[in-house]
Structure 1
Amino acid sequence: MSADKKRQKLISAELKRVDGAAPETQPVLDKHQKMAGSPFQFLRGSAQIFYADLAAGSLKLPEQLLQAPLTRIVGDCHLANFGFLTEEGSYGDTVIWAPNDYDDAAEGHAAFDLARFCVSLFLVADYLEGLGAGRYRSAEVFKVQKPPRKKDATRAAEGFLKCYRKALKKTALDPEKRDKAVKRFDKDHFLRKPLDKAKARAPGGKHFEKKSSVAKLAVRTRGGFRFDPENSKLAPVEPALADELEDVFRPYLDDAVLDVSRRLGAGTGSLSVERYYFLVGPAGETDGEAFRETHVVEIKQQREAALVHHFANLSPVNRMNPAHLTVDCQRRMMRRPDLVLDEAVWNGVHWLVRSRHHARLTVDPEDLLEADRPAMALKDYAKACGVALARTHSRGDRRSVRFERVMADALADKAEDLVDAAREYADQVVSDHSRLCEMIRKDGDEHAA
């Protein structure tokens, strides 16, 4: 079997293992269609392939980086899994910049997160350049003038690792630094405008009643707040199922259940995962104070973290059930985790229970094109992520600073090698994306014939 056929077989098998259907299967899954949009989207939906390549040695990271103590890691660490959010979920009003997706969090090598994030920088640069060249498409129209290039992604990756290492060194000297948050940016920083937008959506902000997470999903009725029946992201739930959901999950909720809906098509990696939303708040009240207390709680079917299958013996921590592991990691890694954060078993499946942050704002790759200097914006973005990720990793063990010291020393010697490995692997992802497109297109052509 040729190398190309072996690679295609690996991609098909790994996608089928996690998603339940191979990309050749008709009709093609929405998730696989979305992954075919660009190599960056492919990366977002195929974390299991990244870990398969690490386990097989197809992607080799500097050994010195793997000698650092294990810590809790994001698992699916890429540029679009950072954003602005309100601490303590829907109970707080402090807006910070931090990782915002812990569905694949587990105990592992910090270098896994660092490498995956650097790979994403190269793929984002490729995506933005490809929009201008017509290789990729976006649902929105963007004016593409000077997109970041591969050399700009290299500088962004170097800046990311430099800031990550610097933050680790500061924590090694003063352990209380691990509980500092990234929540301020200078007026000329690329993330300043998104920060101001997120703050306006937080409780007390001028756009809270129009732009917050709950405001986008709920409407005011005579009987109280309900989910908006016109919202395309939500689907009604049959009364019997709604009653069952409320009966099972009511102990985890802190107020009256106002409404229940099914959440449609969220994210890329979790696109095929079942999830429901509860609208929770004071019953029968519709004034501003009641709206402030109303929030959304998500019930999400939780799958095994991406790294666990290929690194089953890396840590006994990862033997927790999938939802418990996510809750455990999120409570450790976040400075002030959601106050509604738990796990439950329903119909033999593990479910994650968590509140939706009132102010949750992700900066999409396309937003970089709106900056005066997209290449500099990408670097600023990456550096902010480096600081936030270092503090997130540092919270895995609050008893010592061994991880910080060892990892900072290793990066002093091996950061350049890590960037080189990420750049090379990004090229592999571009090739894998082409293979996925061929699998989808070939099968579709055969069915059409």
Structure 2
Amino acid sequence: MTQSDDARQHLIRSELLRVDGSDPGAAEAPSKKHSKMAENPFRFLRGSAQLFYADIQQGRLELPAALSESPPLTTVMGDCHVANFGFLTEQGSHGDQVVFCPNDYDDACVGPAVWDIARYLVSLALTAEYCRGLVDGRYQSDEVDDPAELEAPSAGDAEEAGHAFLDAYRRTCRHCVRDPGLRFEALDAFPKKHVLGKAFRKACRRAAGGKDFETKSTLAKEVRIDAGRLVFRDRPGRFARLDTERAEAVREAFRPYVDDAILDLVRRLGAGTGSVDLERFYLLVGPEGFAGGEDLALCHVVEVKQQRPASPLYWFPDISPVNRLQSAHLTIDCQRLMQRAPDLVLDEAIWEDTPWLVRSRHHARVGIDPEEIALAPKKPGKQLKAYAQACGQALALAHARGDRRSTRFEAAMAKQLPDNSKALVTACAQYAEQVVADQRRLRAILRRLDAAASPAAGTSPQTPSA
């Protein structure tokens, strides 16, 4: 199904307005989120999960019926893409076992696994496109000094990586059918030369007890000792101090959810892409009588974040009764199932008539940027393929944990994937081209907005109805 350019622009503006509360074409400054999304198609995908599900529901992304309708539903990430996998310490900041796994559950719900699989495949194609654009100067990145000296994967490389991802996913499902206990395995070791080897070693060094824990862990980078007190660092653009009344209200509301005293708290600014405009706080949690460096390992950062409904559910409201749970409650339930060893601080709250997530910030959390896995001096396609294989295995394990009573889900996926993989990879590669076009549309909308805001400009475009 195709759309006219005007209809597509209207859908983009309407969906961004519905979820973000801001129309990118209105006569006002664009939101930080929309400006980030306009920079490249990979970021557009990250910030527009709701559009992805609108396109599935309306037939613009056609997924094989054998994968959409045949396998049992399971718990899904909802916003699955190459940058939503990474290393973290199990049990949040209370553990020291480093694993590679999905690391974002804000859009988690019950649904068909092919939603996650397809979104990941689209992101693979866009990762390759984005990195090719870095090399030839069409896109910019703060992560790479001189991308022109590196090589990027071709569209064919991305397609091969997609098939490797699906093969790893299918094999993992098949192994779980033979031995259901395997669903509780995790990817916890990578050889030095693997594309993830460097990031894995970095995460291990940052875990509690690691040699970089006191200097480069999540905790160490966020806090400092000031006159014997542990406090958040002064980081303009990242942290903002709250006035006394607001700080006390946050402390009073969320103290019951954490496992120790709240030593300090700040408002977190500008985090993420899909959730950049949601309010969130960081709580510094530790012993009431903090005794100095020897108590650092007893402290951790807890994130308190506003939660909105999972992206798939506006377009698929009736796919499972479980999804009628309050949004933060649903997120927590799904995360607890999908993780092998969930965060010990992982809860939901209603405060100021709004759902909030309460969860640990992992000491050794190490995210993966597209530039890390798809730019290389040579053979970038080989790197991308190895990364995709790791993600396929990790995602299959997370999906398999959604039902721990049987292996019906794993058996169905192992059966259906071989005959439908080619069609799925092709459909997702074609949809990636749609995302590239949509990112250009958003960029054009914002440029017209800039022109309309200038003194010589005429009237601004009309806001679409929500």
The TM-score with structure 1 as length reference comes to 0.98
From 344, 356, 363, the counterpart of 1:358: 363
Q: Offset of 1:158 from its aligned partner? A: 0.5
**C-alpha contact (below 8 Å) 1:80/1:365 kept by paired residues:** yes
User: Residue 170 of structure 2: which of 161, 165, 172 is its match?
Assistant: 165
Residue identity matched to 2:366: L
Amino acid at match of 1:111: V
Q: Indicate the SS of the match to 1:24.
A: coil
Which of 141, 147, 150 aligns to 1:143? It is 147
CA distance in 2, matches of 1:426, 1:350: 33
For residue 81 of structure 1, what is the aligned residue in structure 2? 84
The correspondence for 2:344, drawn from 323, 339, 349, is 339
Which letter does structure 2 place at the counterpart of 1:34?
K
Q: How does 1:104-115 map to 2 (within 5 A)?
A: 104-115=107-118
Distance in 1 separating the partners of 2:308 and 2:286: 29
Q: Is the 8 A contact 2:151 2:376 kept in 1?
A: no
Q: Conserved in 2, the CA contact under 8 Å of 1:297 and 1:355?
A: yes
Alpha-carbon distance between aligned partners in 2 of 1:19 and 1:158, rounded to the nearest angstrom: 34
1:156 aligned partner, one-letter code: A
Which residues of 2 match residues 230-241 of structure 1 at below 5 A?
A: 230=235, 232-241=237-246
Counting only pairs closer than 5 Å after superposition, residues 146-225 of structure 1 correspond to structure 2 as 146-225=151-230
One-letter code of the match for 1:41? R
Tell me the distance in 2 between the aligned counterparts of 1:400 and 1:97. Answer: 25
**Retained in 2: the 8 A contact 1:224–1:283?**
no
Deviations 1:98-117 (A, max 9, x none): 00000000000100000000
Q: In the alignment, does 2:385 pair up with 1:379?
A: yes
Instruction: Give, as a single letter, the amino acid of the residue that structure 2 aligns with 1:74.
Output: M
Q: Distance in 1 between matches of 2:245 and 2:283?
A: 15
* Residues 151, 377 of structure 2: 8 Å contact kept: no
Residue 253 in 1 paired to residue 254 in 2?
no
The aligned residue for residue 130 of structure 2 is 127
Structure 1 unaligned residues grouped into runs of 5+: none
The Cα of 1:13 is off from its aligned counterpart by 0.2
CA displacement at 1:139 relative to structure 2: 2.3
Q: How has the CA–CA distance of structure 1 residues 372 and 195 changed in structure 2, closer, same or farther, with 3 Å as cutoff? A: farther
| Aligned 8 A contact 1:225 1:286 in 2 | no
Partner of 2:97: 94
Q: How many Å separate the matches in 1 of 2:160 and 2:241?
A: 47
For residues 22 and 368 of structure 2, what CA distance do their matches in structure 1 show?
31
Residue of structure 1 in register with 2:42 after alignment: 40
1:266 aligns with 2:267: no
Could you tell me how far apart the structure 2 residues matched to 1:2 and 1:82 are?
A: 33
CA distance in 2, matches of 1:232, 1:370: 31
Write the distance in 2 (CA, Å) between the matches of 1:231 and 1:32: 21
Deviation for aligned residue 1:232:
3.7
Q: Secondary structure at the match of 1:428?
A: helix
Q: Supply the distance in 1 between the matched residues of 2:238 and 2:453 (Cα, whole angstroms).
A: 30
Contact 2:87 2:101 in 1 (8 A): yes
Tell me if structure 1 keeps the 8 A contact 2:152–2:376.
no
Gaps of 5+ in 2: 458-466
Query: Equivalents in 2 of 1:8, 1:232: separation in Å?
Result: 32
Superposed CA deviations along residues 226-281 of structure 1, whole A, max 9, x for unmatched, are 00023541111111111111111111111111001000011100001100000000
Alignment CA distance shift 1:42-1:103 (3 Å): same
| Native 8 Å contact 1:224 1:284 kept in 2 | no
SS at match of 1:308: helix
Q: 1:334 to 1:371 in 2, by over 3 A?
A: farther
Once residues 410 and 446 of structure 2 are traced to their aligned partners in structure 1, the CA distance between those partners, rounded to angstroms, is 44
Change (3 A) 1:286 1:229: farther
Identity %: 51
- 2:235 & 2:362 partners in 1: Cα distance? 22
Match of 2:5 in 1: 4
Structure 2 Cα separation of the partners of residues 443 and 252 of structure 1: 43
Q: Is the 8 A contact 1:257 1:280 kept in 2?
A: yes
Cα deviation code 1:336-375 (max 9, x no counterpart): 0000000111110010000101100011111232464321
Q: How does 1:64-75 map to 2 (within 5 A)?
A: 64-66=66-68, 67-75=70-78
1:405 corresponds to which residue? 411
1:446 is aligned to 452
Match of 2:23 in 1: 22
* In structure 1, distance between residues paired with 2:280 and 2:422: 41
Aligned length: 449
* Alpha-carbon distance in structure 2 between the residues aligned to 1:312 and 1:191: 37
After superposition, the C-alpha distances for 1:373-426 in whole angstroms (9 at most, x for unaligned) are 321111111100000000000000000000000111110110111100100000
Q: Which amino acid aligns with 1:269?
A: G
Cα pair 1:98 1:389 within 8 Å, conserved: yes
CA contact (8 A) 2:41 2:130 kept: yes
SS of residue matched to 1:405? helix
2:386 maps to a residue whose letter is: D
* DSSP-derived class of the 2:371 partner: helix
1:58 alignment partner, SS class: coil
What amino acid is the match of 2:146? Answer: F
What amino acid does structure 2 have at the position aligned with 1:185? F
8 Å CA contact 1:142, 1:366 repeated in 2: no
Which residue type is aligned with residue 294 of structure 1? C
Distance across 2 between alignment mates of 1:109 and 1:412: 17
